[in-house]
Chain A
Amino acid sequence: MSASLDIRLKRANKVYHEGEVLAGVVVIVSKETVQHQGISLTMEGLVNLQLSSKSVGVFEAFYNSVKVRPIQLITSNIEVVKPGKVPGGKTEIPFEFPLHTKGNKVLYETYHGVFVNIQYTLRCDMKRSLLAKDLSKTCEFMVHCLPQKAKLQPTPVDFNITPETLQNIRERSLLPKFLIRGHLDATNCVITQPLTGELVVQSSDVAIKSIELQLVRVETCGCAEGYARDATEIQNIQIAEGDVCHSLPIPIYMVFPRLFTCPTLETTNFKVEFEVNVVIVLHDDHLITENFPLKLCRV
């Protein structure tokens, strides 16, 4: 006697916006009639904040609560079926949840990070008598925040990288000579569009080993009293391998990964920002990095 429980959302991509209705069906498949004490659905949106180990010590002193208490964005619970029986075979029970927030809360966009996680889940529970185990099924759905009203102005950035432009080096004289030009088409990017630009190796004394784009998230947790700011890598995309042809433009192209990026977010308790590093690795293992803060938005 095995019954299975499943949640199917109407939208294949599981993406919803604030104010829309989350609709779908609960599917129960069983060979025989299933006796139960009620089936309920719980929809919940949470922001989980976590502190990195290096800042834990400092914080625990005066701010103990941030780590433990997640911020609830939305919650809702309904009973789908009253206690009773579900006939054998496949039973589909439709449901709908309006995605409305209470008060002045905003539904932030789904985001999976390291120290900040914004996640929306839908859980279905089937309570059963003592003899049988309760059944439960969880399914995540995505929330995209509403498109930005303001028209986005492209903000192209040109850059030149030479030994002289570098900071944070010990022996400038040991560096080989090189000149790398390039530009990003925009630093305020639409999240659904790739990051684009071009890069030209004008000259380089030492052969180039690799050129990479490193996408970095900068997560800030805290409030006025103090905060922890951590930058971690999301992904690293190689755009050139080996000693590329000089003075031939190489495209910069990177797709923003879903879930791991969201529109740049700034709230009272936490911040999520993104940056991109253009990393040039020379054959003698010199690592040259040029950093560009990005502003992501949705249109």
Chain B
Amino acid sequence: MAAVQWHSRVRRYVAEKQSCGLEVASVEFGDYHPLKSITVTDSKSRRGARKGSTSSSSSSSSSVAMDPLSCMMDGTDPLSMFAAASASEPHLTLPHSISSGDLANGKRKEKEDEVAVDFEPWSSKRGEILARFTTTEKLSINLFMGSDKGKAPCPGSSAVSEKVRTRLEELDDLEEGSQRELLNLSQQDYVNRIEELNQSLKEAWASDQKVKALKIVIQCSKLLSDTDVIQFYPSKFVLITDILDTFGRLVYERIWSMCSDPHPLPVSFTADEVNDTAKETCLNWFFKIASIRELIPRLYVEIALLKCNCFLTKCGIQKTLPRLTAMIRGIGDPLVAVYARAYLCRIGMEVAPHLKDSLNQNFFDLLETFRQIHGDSVQNQLVLQRVEIPVYLTLYSPAIHWILQCVSYRAPESLLTEMMERCKNLGNNALLLNSVMWAFRAEFIATRATDFIGMIKDCDEAGFPKHLLFGSLGRSLACADPPEAERLPILNEAWKVITKVRSSQDYINCAEIWVEFTCRHFTKREVNTVLSDIIKHMTPDRAFEEAYPQLQSVIRKILTYFHDFSVLFSMERFLPFMDMFQKDSVRVEVCRSIMEVFIKHQHEPTRDPVILNALLHVCKTMHDSVNALTLDDDKRSLALLINGFIRMVSFGRDFEQQLSFCVEARATFCNLEPVLVQLIHTVNQLAMETRRVMRGSHSRKTAAFVRACAAYSFITIPSLTSIFSRLNLYLLSGQVALANQCLSQADAFLKAAVSLLPEVPRSVSIEGKMRSSEGFLLDFINNFLSTLLVVPDHPEAGVLYLVRGLLNMVQDYTWEDNSDAKVQVYVSALPLLAAMSQETYLYCIPKVDSNETLYGGDPKFVAEINKLCETLIGQVLDHLKILGRDESVRRQSSLAFSLFGCLLAHGDLRNNKLNQLAVNLWNLSHKHGYCDTQTSVRTLEFIKHLAQQPNMLHISDMVQRLILQSRT
């Protein structure tokens, strides 16, 4: 095909814009939106106005300020719906807030007796105990039951009924089969064994071997009378009571299901509704348990089945609880006894929380037997096991905590006072005191904090460790406030003791707790003192290495209370404190938490040198932790934090200072690419800010400054590895330079971008997957082309130096096989060239003379442009031809259509050749029927509309020749 002469259509942009008259159409938010579901079930009543999707435009004006996405979706988002639901649900912990007269009121009131969410459940204690009470010593499980033999409830006799006999035989079998003692178990083995027993209990139950199940449970509870390896006892208790719980549940459910015929029992049933068979079965269980020989298994199993009492009589539980409480007195070992009490209290709270009396009785009994702890038999045992008294005493804590927690739960103040008095009157009461502080309401403790300190001081030094006592007190004071006047004396008194704690581990455990109290009520001065004390204690022998979690927690607590970073960093000891984190991972984690708090709470940009220095140090630490092995995600999150910091730095009008900060930051954070990108953006923004301040005309000084900014960007960009970041930043910085009248800098940026193009790989990795880079490249080139319109030609280089350069690069680039990308670039270059040949350009940059002024519509310049267009069209047409040969008619069709569109918009169709070419392209695109009919019809309509305008005769001629292919 012969070369086609190009003639650009002459555009009058202003007039066109007016004639188009794009009126601002308001978006009707009330209208149908495909993303909005049809039924809006709004759970919040205050949004009642938005109910129903048909409420049309009424809300459109009001919702302008709202986030359009969120207001479209509001109410139907399942996540926020849940949140709304939970927010609307009144808190169970505040029964007084429920208005009376409510329908649900009756039901709620009933529940008041029950245990609500504010009662810390056993399940949360469980894990804590298991983690805390461990041992490396060897354990043994003794499943030997020889002593029972022959003394079983009934000795064999000829008259025993058949059923009983088979059961007895079954029992004997089990005894013989399991007469074994497992020795030398490690703790993990032990746990596994217990779990096995738990499983075999379930299996036995499932296979209807009820007697075997009972036998397993009895054996397990028997293990609780054994206090060998006493340090492990609390954990053993937890493991075995798990089995007992399972058993209790199985029995209860079994009996319950027996009553469910013909219809299930209501949740709150009475004994009268239970049928005889179920009662008989239940009674049988109790008779069986009553004949268990040994005290401890009998107690535990009966406690496990406590709930079943409600099948028999109404007040069964009420009568049983005091009896079981009294029976525990028969347990000689105080540790075993206290855990049995804890179990009884636990089940009691679960089954009948309203029966407080036996809880209290349990506690009083505990006090009665308290002297046993210091008795001979305990002491002998400790000597034998080589356990020291303070360690031994801490074994009691979980159980006593639990009992006291049950006792004090919603207990009246007077009772708590009474309990406290009783503890006070007892000798060696540190253990109790500790539990009181743990379990009683924090407010109760806080108001008597001074008393408690006095009591703690009076305690015997040899017994329970004092730092634990202060730890417990500190924990209470962290949640509730003591009277204002007492606060400082409390802190002084407490710290006087804490600072004397010898062991650094004990010290930090206690100090960590008190940091919260200090932060809560005092200023940086006190906190600083505390920090310096901690440093003093933790530095010798590098004790801090063992205490990172506690030290981290100290930092966290300080950060929760001190959001003002100028105050925080003006604490002399804060940074030295930070220096104690010498293990890299911990250090970085601490830095992270600091930065997170900073980003969350710093709303104003800052230039405070203290903050900047400190945070720069913190960020540098984070940055320096990055190495070749760092995960991408870690890098990303670190970079995010550092970026957050950089964004918050502002020196106000002192731009140079800001730039030098950026220089420093670049040097510091050179390994994190996103930070460099952020820095370039910051500097670009700085240049634009300077321009704004100077109202567009730079003085000599500011001109030099913006050039410095450009230089900064120019030398920073090459150090990035991501090619598209580089390209985009070159373009952006070029635009900024241009806006600031730095022509040669802009030239350099754009030239750099062009020369970078050949390096763009054909595929890039996005979120770990390799994707073709073509789309990104096309986007970039189009963006680039639109910038080129205003870039004036370099006086020493040829006409359209950059455009040619770009097109050359495009031509030489190795595009993907079977891709039209190159030609697409050519087609999109045509509008640029057409725009360049106009007398006045569509847009321009103030104070920068574009080519329109430089050449003033010089015919030579226009001819140059047209020649270029000619070449481009020639290339496109050649490509179209090749496509026709390759049978890639679909691609041919769409390409031809896009060229047609381009001609229509930008070409001067009065020129016959161009006109003819357009018609040919139209026909080519429709030749094989691959054209999108809808687009064709619309285009045709548009052309017809054009034809009706004045001076558009040539168009109306053309319309005649455009054939719309019909589907039929």
- A residues contacting B by CB (< 8 A) are 11-13, 48, 50, 112-114, 117, 119, 138, 140, 207-208, 211, 232-245, 248-251, 253-255, 257-260
B331 & A117 in contact (Cβ 8 Å cutoff): no
Q: How far is the CA of A3 from the CA of B276 in the complex (A)?
A: 28
> Closest chain B residue to A209 by CB distance?
B332
A48 & B277 in contact (Cβ 8 Å cutoff): no
Q: How far is the CA of A232 from the CA of B150 in the complex (A)?
A: 12
> Closest chain A residue to B377 by CB distance?
A243
A240 & B276 in contact (Cβ 8 Å cutoff): no
A251 & B151 in contact (Cβ 8 Å cutoff): no
> Which of A114, A235, A242, A260 makes the CB contact (< 8 A) with B332?
A242
> Which of B276, B286, B331, B365 makes the CB contact (< 8 A) with A241?
B331
Q: How far is the CA of A251 from the CA of B361 in the complex (A)?
A: 14
**B286 → chain A closest CB, angstroms:** 8
A113 & B157 in contact (Cβ 8 Å cutoff): yes
> Which of B117-125, B367-375, B600-608 forms contacts with chain A?
B367-375
A251 & B326 in contact (Cβ 8 Å cutoff): yes
Report A-chain residues with C-beta under 8 Å of the C-beta of B159: 48, 112-113, 117, 119
Report B-chain residues with C-beta under 8 Å of the C-beta of A255: 286-287, 290-291
A244-B331 in contact given A112-B160, A113-B157, A234-B154 (Cβ < 8 Å): yes
B333 CB within 8 Å of chain A: yes
> Which of A208, A238, A245 makes the CB contact (< 8 A) with B369?
A245
A240 & B295 in contact (Cβ 8 Å cutoff): yes
Count the B residues whose beta carbon is within 8 Å of the partner chain — how many? Answer: 43
**A203 → chain B closest CB, angstroms:** 13
B330 CB within 8 Å of chain A: yes
A-B contact pairs, 18 of them (CB 8 A): A12-B276, A12-B279, A114-B157, A207-B376, A233-B155, A240-B330, A241-B331, A243-B372, A244-B331, A245-B369, A248-B368, A249-B329, A250-B326, A251-B323, A255-B286, A255-B290, A257-B290, A258-B287
A208-B277 in contact given A238-B295, A243-B377 (Cβ < 8 Å): no
B327 CB within 8 Å of chain A: yes
Report B-chain residues with C-beta under 8 Å of the C-beta of A211: 330
A248 & B276 in contact (Cβ 8 Å cutoff): no
Q: Known contacts A48-B159, A237-B291, A244-B332; can you find 8 more A-B pairs with CB under 8 A?
A: A112-B160, A113-B157, A237-B290, A241-B294, A243-B333, A245-B369, A250-B330, A258-B287
> Closest chain B residue to A15 by CB distance?
B280
What are the nearest 3 A-B pairs in CB distance?
A242-B332, A117-B159, A240-B330
Report B-chain residues with C-beta under 8 Å of the C-beta of A253: 323, 327
A242 & B290 in contact (Cβ 8 Å cutoff): no
Which of A12, A114, A241 has most chain B Cβ within 10 Å?
A241
Interface positions, chain B 320-337, Cβ under 8 Å from A, are 323, 326-327, 329-333, 336
Q: How far is the CA of A119 from the CA of B332 in the complex (A)?
A: 42
Report A-chain residues with C-beta under 8 Å of the C-beta of B287: 255, 257-258
B161 CB within 8 Å of chain A: yes
**B147 → chain A closest CB, angstroms:** 10
User: Can you list, as one digit per residue, whether each of B265-294 has a CB less than 8 Å from chain A (1) or not (0)?
Assistant: 000000000011101100100110011011
A243-B375 in contact given A140-B161, A255-B290, A258-B287 (Cβ < 8 Å): yes
B153 CB within 8 Å of chain A: yes
B329 & A13 in contact (Cβ 8 Å cutoff): no
Q: How far is the CA of A270 from the CA of B368 in the complex (A)?
A: 49
Report A-chain residues with C-beta under 8 Å of the C-beta of B277: 12
**B288 → chain A closest CB, angstroms:** 9
Report B-chain residues with C-beta under 8 Å of the C-beta of A12: 275-277, 279-280
B129 CB within 8 Å of chain A: no
> Which of A48, A248, A257 makes the CB contact (< 8 A) with B329?
A248
Q: How far is the CA of A245 from the CA of B276 in the complex (A)?
A: 42
> Which of B155, B160, B293, B330 makes the CB contact (< 8 A) with A251?
B330
Report B-chain residues with C-beta under 8 Å of the C-beta of A251: 323, 326-327, 329-330
User: Can you list, as one digit per residue, whether each of B529-567 has a CB less than 8 Å from chain A (1) or not (0)?
Assistant: 000000000000000000000000000000000000000
User: How many A-B contacts at CB < 8 Å in the complex?
Assistant: 118
B225 CB within 8 Å of chain A: yes
> Which of A140, A234, A244 makes the CB contact (< 8 A) with B330?
A244
**A192 → chain B closest CB, angstroms:** 11
Q: How far is the CA of A78 from the CA of B501 in the complex (A)?
A: 89
B333 & A13 in contact (Cβ 8 Å cutoff): no
B921 CB within 8 Å of chain A: no
B296 CB within 8 Å of chain A: yes
> Closest chain B residue to A211 by CB distance?
B330
Q: How far is the CA of A243 from the CA of B369 in the complex (A)?
A: 11
Q: How far is the CA of A237 from the CA of B323 in the complex (A)?
A: 15
A13 & B276 in contact (Cβ 8 Å cutoff): yes
Report B-chain residues with C-beta under 8 Å of the C-beta of A249: 326, 329
Q: How far is the CA of A119 from the CA of B159 in the complex (A)?
A: 8
Q: How far is the CA of A232 from the CA of B332 in the complex (A)?
A: 29
Which of A207, A232, A254 has most chain B Cβ within 10 Å?
A207
B154 & A237 in contact (Cβ 8 Å cutoff): no
**A198 → chain B closest CB, angstroms:** 9
> Which of A235, A241, A248 makes the CB contact (< 8 A) with B225?
A241
> Which of B157, B160, B296, B369 makes the CB contact (< 8 A) with A248?
B369
> Closest chain B residue to A194 by CB distance?
B290
Report A-chain residues with C-beta under 8 Å of the C-beta of B162: 138
**A118 → chain B closest CB, angstroms:** 9
Report A-chain residues with C-beta under 8 Å of the C-beta of B323: 251, 253
Q: How far is the CA of A258 from the CA of B89 in the complex (A)?
A: 53
Report A-chain residues with C-beta under 8 Å of the C-beta of B157: 112-114, 117
A260-B276 in contact given A112-B160, A248-B329 (Cβ < 8 Å): no
> Which of A114, A240, A248 makes the CB contact (< 8 A) with B155?
A114
Report B-chain residues with C-beta under 8 Å of the C-beta of A250: 326, 329-330
B160 & A235 in contact (Cβ 8 Å cutoff): no
Q: How far is the CA of A257 from the CA of B287 in the complex (A)?
A: 7
A235 & B369 in contact (Cβ 8 Å cutoff): no
Report B-chain residues with C-beta under 8 Å of the C-beta of A138: 162
B331 & A13 in contact (Cβ 8 Å cutoff): no
Interface positions, chain B 354-387, Cβ under 8 Å from A, are 365, 368-369, 371-372, 375-377
> Which of B161, B293, B372 makes the CB contact (< 8 A) with A238?
B293
> Which of B154, B283, B332, B365 makes the CB contact (< 8 A) with A240?
B332
Report B-chain residues with C-beta under 8 Å of the C-beta of A240: 295, 329-332
Q: How far is the CA of A249 from the CA of B328 in the complex (A)?
A: 11
Q: How far is the CA of A171 from the CA of B339 in the complex (A)?
A: 40
Report B-chain residues with C-beta under 8 Å of the C-beta of A259: 154
**B287 → chain A closest CB, angstroms:** 6
Report A-chain residues with C-beta under 8 Å of the C-beta of B153: 234-235, 257, 260
Report A-chain residues with C-beta under 8 Å of the C-beta of B331: 240-242, 244
User: Can you list, as one digit per residue, whether each of B237-273 has a CB less than 8 Å from chain A (1) or not (0)?
Assistant: 0000000000000000000000000000000000000
A241 & B332 in contact (Cβ 8 Å cutoff): yes
Report A-chain residues with C-beta under 8 Å of the C-beta of B295: 238-241
Q: How far is the CA of A236 from the CA of B295 in the complex (A)?
A: 10
User: Can you list, as one digit per residue, whether each of B142-160 has a CB less than 8 Å from chain A (1) or not (0)?
Assistant: 0000000001011101111
Q: How far is the CA of A254 from the CA of B332 in the complex (A)?
A: 19
Report A-chain residues with C-beta under 8 Å of the C-beta of B293: 235-238
Report A-chain residues with C-beta under 8 Å of the C-beta of B330: 211, 238-241, 244, 250-251
**B297 → chain A closest CB, angstroms:** 9
**B830 → chain A closest CB, angstroms:** 93
Q: How far is the CA of A243 from the CA of B379 in the complex (A)?
A: 13
Q: How far is the CA of A236 from the CA of B292 in the complex (A)?
A: 8
B329 & A244 in contact (Cβ 8 Å cutoff): yes
Q: How far is the CA of A211 from the CA of B327 in the complex (A)?
A: 12
Q: How far is the CA of A177 from the CA of B752 in the complex (A)?
A: 106
Interface positions, chain B 391-434, Cβ under 8 Å from A, are none
Report B-chain residues with C-beta under 8 Å of the C-beta of A257: 153-154, 287, 290-291
B291 & A235 in contact (Cβ 8 Å cutoff): yes
> Closest chain B residue to A11 by CB distance?
B276
Q: How far is the CA of A232 from the CA of B157 in the complex (A)?
A: 12
A245 & B333 in contact (Cβ 8 Å cutoff): no
Q: How far is the CA of A48 from the CA of B287 in the complex (A)?
A: 25
A245 & B368 in contact (Cβ 8 Å cutoff): yes
